[in-house]
Structure 1
Amino acid sequence: MLRVCSAFASRGVLLIALLLAFVFAAAADVAVPQLTGRVVDQTGTLSSSDVASLSSRLRDFENRKGSQIAILIVPTTQPETIEQYSIRVADAWKIGRKKVDDGAILVVAKNDRHLRIEVGYGLEGALTDVTSRRIIDEVITPKFRSGDFAGGIADGVDRIVRVIDGEPLPAPQRSTSFGNEVDDLGPLLPFGLFASLFVGGILRTMLGRLLGSAATGGVLAAIAWFLAGSLGLALAVGAIAFALAFIVDLVPMSTGPGTGRSRGGSWSSGSSSGGGWSSGSSSSDSGSFSGGGGSFGGGGASGSW
């Protein structure tokens, strides 16, 4: 009986040891970082201007082509290979459009001296394994060997963009979200406030309060649509412009010395703070970038330097 108990105890200890080994092995895997922007550098290799330049280039490419490209720099992927790690990144970030699967991720493990281009299903016909390997060997790693990581990544991105540009993909849809568009239009908001008052004053004189205010909203909405390409933001700007143009004459104005107010206008030599408009702008992505739901199947290529 004692021997049986001892055998069960030994097997229990062995089972616990194996479970702990699996737990520690899983815990040792490098965590996939949060997707905070088109460029995620956990090593401090790229300067803030490098990150801003790359992010702007990738954002413009996405707006024009629809395809998403992201860059990740980590110190190491150990104990995983870069192939194992990069597919986990792809599964977590979901770069590229859903059902189009036109995403690509450049992963650099700096301390390991390894890198990989992970390619979404929809780009495997253009950004093939062979093409990806040539970009790594001929464009990126020569500059990495000389210590020019920013140059290697920038040139690699340029080559990837040129390859994807040659692939027929669905045209990008105009966004109806306010995220990046508000950031981009931030410096124009004071102009929008002034334009609402100025244009509204003219149109109300010509068309009357209601029609003039509606026309003001339409003009400002069209301008916002042209600048940001966002229907949702255009509608919001139009509504605000309409409201400002409609109520501006209802707000009591100062009639002290040096000021004047005519029947059709609301102008005075004094100025108001305006209260809620800001001309501040945020950094390149500011956490507003997210993957579009793209899928990956392990296509791409790896290299080292």
Structure 2
Amino acid sequence: MDTDVPLGAVLVGLDESAHSARALSWAADEARRRHVPLHLMHVLDDLAWVHLVAEGTPYPMRKVVGDALVMLRDWDPDLKVTWSQRAGDPAARLAIGAQAARMTVIGSHGRGAVSQIVLGSVATELIAETRCPVAVLRADTPIPRPNAPVVVGIGGDKSFTAVLDAAFEEAHSRQVDLVVVHTWNVDASTVVDGLELEGLPESEARSHETALLQRTIAAHARSHPDVGVTVHAVHDGAARTLQHYSAGAALLVVGSRGRGEIGGAVLGSVSQDLVRSAACPVLVVRGGRTTMAVAADERPAGARS
């Protein structure tokens, strides 16, 4: 039956295209691993709804959800599934549903394509309007190899607690390693942990950034002792670096400011670039601002650089 999104469910946006099945499968796996319900939502814009109703269709979106329910019964008959069908703006409707969800999953046709559930306006608006993490799967994204790691990008403003929380949880639920990637660029104003990086030899600056990164993730690593962690500090642009590390990854986790906020692990245009270009699914996480403040002797056991 048509219901509201259950609290803590994985929400997946559906449309009529073939790529929607891939987002559905990915979302079902996420819900199964986390032992939470999966909620299906299909949104049709108001003009299309009026047109279909005028043609005499009593419930114009029923087939889209019905087909998805059939696939889910074949994949996992024990998975708890709910669904809803709505008319209106797709981003707005999904954002309302995402208020109760733990994650929202949307698919796309890939680079340059246009659809209702697509990287452009829908994904951008949805990420801006909700604090729920949003996973974006392009139609041209390769299927990751078994046991592929989760990669998380940490930007220069050090506001990333929610992003690290999500990345460690994703690695833990998949029982895979986590690769933590921090990028930085040096100019006259770059002072990190009390040290001015401009003028330092490349190797010394990288060692300093790597040590700081290891201390920063120490608490998260202690909370997830089963997750193997590798850290990389890279003197380069965030989008280019993370696109490189996304090759062969199960998932790339990045941050976004969202509308009207300051902070985030990988900001604005970087996260938008990555959902368009990463070689794996991308999870965009919004969170509050957190200052990097760690004790000098904190380092996660088993962290590798």
- Tell me which interval the TM-score lies in, with the shorter structure as reference length: under 0.3
Structure with the largest fraction of strand: 2
- Higher relative CO (Cα under 8 Å, sequence separation at least 6) belongs to 1
Structure with the largest fraction of helix: 1
Query: Larger radius of gyration, structure 1 or 2?
Result: 1
Q: TM-score, normalised by structure 1?
A: 0.26
Q: TM-score, normalised by structure 2?
A: 0.26
